[in-house]
Structure 1
Amino acid sequence: MILIMISFMMISGGFVFSLKCKHLLLMLLSLEFMILALFLNLYVFLMMMSYEMFFMMIFLTMSVCEGALGLSVLVSMIRTYGNDYILNFSLLW
């Protein structure tokens, strides 16, 4: 039952990521939702196999770094362009 819920979380996060690609903030939130689903999947796997939980701390550290990097890109984009629309973002400017 829990694996069905985790797979539904991953599918819904990917669905939102592919549909709401207009705003960067919504894309970052859907990526964090998928990372939360991966974290739950990792937790269930490690509990079933009775392994150590040290790798979960490394995974959380990397996901926090990814979130901070995404927010810094969001702040930089809002300061440069005034909004978070992906379609206004141009690398050639």
Structure 2
Amino acid sequence: MNHALWWQYAVIAALVTVSTLYMLRKLAPAVSWRWQARMASWLLRRRGGMWQALGRRWLPPAKGGGCGGGACDGCGDSGDALPPLEQKIQFHRRR
């Protein structure tokens, strides 16, 4: 096989891998979060400082819930609540 053909296969394989990982992050965020946390904890257990720094960088953000965790738009009736996602539709006859 031609040398250039191997580079094409490598680029296509990289694109397919990146696309699959992106799809996994969008469609199954809990699974990808667990895998990312596992990989980061494995890297943190390594002895090299470079591997530990990479593990700290790959740690997924902590799950926040309740007040201040980004779970809602706030507590109470401050009047700043977001408008509802559902809206009434009115159909008008043509004239």
**TM-score with structure 2 setting the length:** 0.27
Task: Tell me: higher relative CO, structure 1 or 2? Use CA pairs within 8 A at least 6 residues apart.
Answer: 1
**TM-score with structure 1 setting the length:** 0.28
Structure with bigger helix share is: 1
